[in-house]
């Protein structure tokens, strides 16, 4: 096909080829008949062949015209598809999206958010990754993630943060512990207890919050064991290594020999924020955030 052909020439040609009538084709295109006839004449001159046999009574495609119609239709369809693909991306309806979350967040609203998003935007290629808050922060700064779900995040000038979920904290103790049957406890009751706690780099904000809660109760926790995984932390509590303070949703992991006790403090609540880079204004990020706002319950 002549590289100088323009899409408008092909549209004009296809309209005439389908209508086999210059007047109807001109009306369909919203132009007058003389300019349409001139476009077809220029197209024929450019290709060096007649595309239509014209008489006073009828218009018919030549063999060359039939050959062009087949290809021109595909070109126009491809062009329309390309334009629509660009528009979908601009509306945040397609493209890749890398989303990370801490394991415990899957016990909250995140599955509902993901399900609703996939239903609404099936052409977005979701790349879901489980990683703790600390690693998410590193990945966001390195532009290896688009959105992270961070637990109790600290302010960061490189990131936008928006709270989408909240949940209470619980004190976890072994089932045989003297406090295990309490309906609610004050943190002072744990002052003499050994603690199993995650290291600061795993979840910096939540780590700082747990220490602050203990300080507000008049003590610093005596940490006898650090654990990088929630299930390991709960297993160590179950084994009697110590007590811990963890998000309430961890109770859904199913340990029957651990008790999760409400803490008598208004400060014993944690928040989960969606985080994204301030310099990454991709429409698909905002589409995901829109769903998270409506389904997160934050």
- Quick: pLDDT tens for 229-258: 888 899 999 999 999 999 998 888 777 899
One domain, residues 288 and 145:
yes
Please report whether residue 2 resides in a domain.
no
Using DSSP bridges, classify how beta strands 59-61 and 95-101 pair: parallel, antiparallel or unpaired. unpaired
What's the CATH code of the domain at 62?
1.10.10.10
One domain, residues 236 and 113:
no
One domain, residues 55 and 183:
no
Please report whether residue 1 resides in a domain.
no
One domain, residues 69 and 113:
no
One domain, residues 105 and 226:
no
Please report whether residue 78 resides in a domain.
yes
Count of residues making up the chain: 298
Please report whether residue 49 resides in a domain.
yes
One domain, residues 63 and 45:
yes
Please report whether residue 193 resides in a domain.
yes
**pTM over cut 0.85:** no
One domain, residues 266 and 277:
no
Please report whether residue 243 resides in a domain.
yes
**Residue 298: predicted pLDDT:** 55
The answer to whether 172 and 223 have CB atoms below 8 angstroms apart is no
One domain, residues 265 and 278:
no
Q: Alpha-carbon distance 52 to 65, whole Å?
A: 6
Please report whether residue 265 resides in a domain.
yes
Number of domains in the chain: 3
92 vs 27, 99, 144, 161, 239, CA distance in Å? 36, 15, 19, 19, 48
Q: 110 is in which domain, residue-wise?
A: 95-164+271-295
One domain, residues 115 and 251:
no
Q: Please give, one letter per residue, the 3-state secondary structure of 163-192.
A: EEEEEEEEEEEECCCCCCCCCCECHHHHCC
| b/e sequence 135-147, b meaning 16+ C-beta within 10 Å | bbbebbeeeebbb
**Residue 3: predicted pLDDT:** 43
One domain, residues 182 and 265:
yes
**Residue 5: predicted pLDDT:** 63
One domain, residues 134 and 189:
no
One domain, residues 264 and 171:
yes
Which of residues 90, 116, 145 is at a domain's end?
90
Please report whether residue 184 resides in a domain.
yes
- Quick: pLDDT tens for 142-195: 999 999 998 888 888 889 999 988 999 999 999 999 999 999 999 999 999 999
Which of residues 61, 90, 119 is at a domain's end?
90
Which H or E element spans position 14?
helix 7-19
Which of residues 30, 60, 90 is at a domain's end?
90
In which residue ranges of the chain is pLDDT below 70?
1-5, 85, 90, 92, 296-298
What's the CATH code of the domain at 228?
3.40.190.10
């Amino acid at each position: 096909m002549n590289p100088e052909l323009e899409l408008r020439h092909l549209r004009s040609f296809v309209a005439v080829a389908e209508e086999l009538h210059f007047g109807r084709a001109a009306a369909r295109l919203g132009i007058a008949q003389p300019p349409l006839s001139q476009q077809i004449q220029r197209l024929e001159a450019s290709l060096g062949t007649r595309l239509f046999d014209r008489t006073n009574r009828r218009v018919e495609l030549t063999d060359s015209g039939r050959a062009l119609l087949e290809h021109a239709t595909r070109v126009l369809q491809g062009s329309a598809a390309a334009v629509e693909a660009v528009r979908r991306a601009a509306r945040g309806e397609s493209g890749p999206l890398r989303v990370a979350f801490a394991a415990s967040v899957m016990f909250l609203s995140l599955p509902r958010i993901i399900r609703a998003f996939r239903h609404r935007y099936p052409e977005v290629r979701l790349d879901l990754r489980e990683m703790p808050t600390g690693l998410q922060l590193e990945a966001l700064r390195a532009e290896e993630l688009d959105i992270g779900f961070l637990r109790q995040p600290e302010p960061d000038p490189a990131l936008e943060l928006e709270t989408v979920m909240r949940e209470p904290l619980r004190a976890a103790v072994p089932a045989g512990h003297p406090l295990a049957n309490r309906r609610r406890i004050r943190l002072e009751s744990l002052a003499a207890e050994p603690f199993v706690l995650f290291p600061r780099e795993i979840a910096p904000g939540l780590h700082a919050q747990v220490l602050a809660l203990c300080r507000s109760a008049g003590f610093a926790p005596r940490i006898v064991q650090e654990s990088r995984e929630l299930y390991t932390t709960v297993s160590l509590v179950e084994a009697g290594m110590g007590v811990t303070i963890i998000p309430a949703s961890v109770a859904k992991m199913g340990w029957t020999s651990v008790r999760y006790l409400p803490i008598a403090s208004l400060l014993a609540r944690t928040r989960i924020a969606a985080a994204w880079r301030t310099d990454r204004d991709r429409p698909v990020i905002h589409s995901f955030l829109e769903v998270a706002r409506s389904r997160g319950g934050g």
